[in-house]
C-alpha cells in the first residue's frame, strides 16, 4: 500500500482531512508552558492527547525547533514519539538541494525522525527530489503554489504561455511513479487550487492557509478534492493550536477541530451544495494533464529517470 493510500485510509478511519501544525511558538503559547523545553513538551503532549482522534496528520514546522538549537531537535524527537501510529507525520522543512545533500536530508527526516511525508522545494529540479521519492514507503509534498503573498514573484511567471506553478504540477505528476508525490497549494488562491487539482490526477494536495491566513475552508475542501473525489489534506495551525491562552487550551483546540470536521462533513454531505460556485471555467483541458504540458515534461525527463 502506497503512503498516499495509507493517508486515504487514515482519513476514512479518523473521519478527518484536517492536519494540525505543531508549530510551537513561545510568543503565542500559554505563558506557563514557555519557561523550559520540558514545559513546551508538556504543551505539545496535551495538544496531541486532546486531538489525535480528530486529525489525519500532524505537521511540525522544523524552523520552530531548529531555532531552539540542539535542544530543539531533542524536543521534536520527543514530540514525534508521542504521536500515535493512527495518524501520519508531515515534517515541514521545505528542503531542496543538490542530490548528494538531499540524500542526507532524506535520511535525517525519514530514517532518523521517521516522518511519513516531508515538504520539498522543487527549484533545483529533479535530482534534488529524487533521493526523497526513491523511498517508496515515504511521501513528499512538493511546493507548487504557496499561500504567501510573495508567491506571485516566481510561481505565477509565464513559462511558454503557462504559469510556472502549472509546469511544476505537470512535472510532479510525471515523477509520481510510485504514488508517493503530492503538491502544496495554498487555500488563499482557490481558483488556482482548482487548476492544480485538474492537473494532479490522484496525487494528494496539502492545503495550508485556512484559518489565520484567511483561506476558505469550503473552497479548499471542494476545489482541493474535486468535490471529494480526490485526496487532500487541509492544514491548520495557529487558529487551533492557540485558540486559548488559558488552562483550557487543549480542550479549546479540540473544540476548534471538531468544528472544522463538522463543517467539512456538512459541505461533503451537500448541506451547502446549492451555494457553492463551480470551479472557474470548468478547467478545460486540465483533467487531461494538458497534453502540451505533458509533452514538455517528457522532453525534460532526466536521463536516469527511467529507473524510477
Rounded to whole angstroms, the Cα distance separating 308 from 299 reads 16
* β-pairing verdict for 139-145 and 158-159: unpaired
Question: What are the catalytic residues?
Answer: 94
Q: How far apart are CA 36 and CA 56, in angstroms?
A: 29
Contacts of 246 (CB under 8 A, 6+ apart): 30
Taking the CB of residue 297, how many other CB atoms lie within 10 A of it? 17
Q: What stretches of 4-105 adopt beta strand conformation (E)?
A: 18-21, 57-59, 88-95
Question: What single string gives the DSSP state of each residue in 193-246?
Answer: HHHHHHHHTT--EEE--BSTT-B-HHHHHHHHHTTTTS-EEEEE-HHHHTS-SS
Dist. CA 94–CA 91, nearest whole Å: 9
Which residue is associated with the grid cell 495509507?
A: 6
Q: CA of 87: how far to CAs of 44, 221, 251, in Å? A: 16, 19, 19
Cell of 231: 485526496
Amino acid at each position: 500500500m502506497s503512503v498516499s493510500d495509507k493517508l486515504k485510509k487514515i482519513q476514512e478511519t479518523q473521519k478527518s482531512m484536517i492536519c494540525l501544525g505543531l508549530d510551537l511558538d513561545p510568543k503565542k503559547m500559554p505563558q506557563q508552558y514557555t519557561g523550559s523545553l520540558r514545559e513546551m513538551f508538556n504543551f505539545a503532549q496535551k495538544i496531541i492527547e486532546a486531538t489525535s482522534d480528530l486529525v489525519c496528520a500532524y505537521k511540525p514546522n522544523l524552523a520552530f525547533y531548529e531555532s531552539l538549537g540542539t535542544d530543539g531537535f531533542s524536543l521534536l524527537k520527543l514530540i514525534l514519539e508521542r504521536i500515535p501510529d493512527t495518524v501520519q507525520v508531515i515534517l515541514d522543512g521545505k528542503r531542496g538541494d543538490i542530490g548528494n545533500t538531499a540524500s542526507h536530508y532524506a535520511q535525517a527526516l525519514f530514517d532518523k525522525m521517521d516522518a511519513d511525508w516531508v515538504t520539498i522545494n522543487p527549484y533545483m529540479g529533479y535530482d534534488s527530489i529524487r533521493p526523497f521519492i526513491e523511498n517508496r514507503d515515504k511521501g513528499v509534498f512538493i511546493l507548487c503554489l504557496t499561500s504567501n503573498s510573495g508567491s506571485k514573484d516566481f510561481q505565477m511567471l509565464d513559462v511558454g504561455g503557462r504559469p510556472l506553478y502549472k509546469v511544476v504540477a505537470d512535472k510532479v505528476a510525471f515523477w509520481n511513479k510510485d504514488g508517493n508525490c503530492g503538491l502544496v497549494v495554498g487555500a488563499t488562491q482557490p481558483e488556482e487550487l482548482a487548476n492544480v487539482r485538474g492537473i494532479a490526477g490522484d496525487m494528494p494536495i496539502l492545503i495550508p492557509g485556512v484559518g489565520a491566513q484567511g483561506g476558505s475552508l469550503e473552497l479548499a475542501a471542494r476545489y482541493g478534492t474535486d468535490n471529494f473525489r480526490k485526496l487532500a489534506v487541509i492544514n491548520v495551525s495557529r487558529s487551533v493550536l492557540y485558540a486559548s491562552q488559558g488552562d483550557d487550551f487543549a480542550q479549546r483546540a479540540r473544540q476548534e477541530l471538531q468544528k472544522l470536521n463538522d463543517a467539512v462533513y456538512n459541505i461533503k454531505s451537500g448541506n451547502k451544495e446549492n451555494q457553492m460556485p463551480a470551479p472557474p471555467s470548468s478547467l478545460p483541458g486540465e483533467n487531461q494533464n494538458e497534453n502540451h504540458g505533458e509533452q514538455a515534461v517528457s522532453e525534460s525527463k532526466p536521463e536516469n529517470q527511467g529507473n524510477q
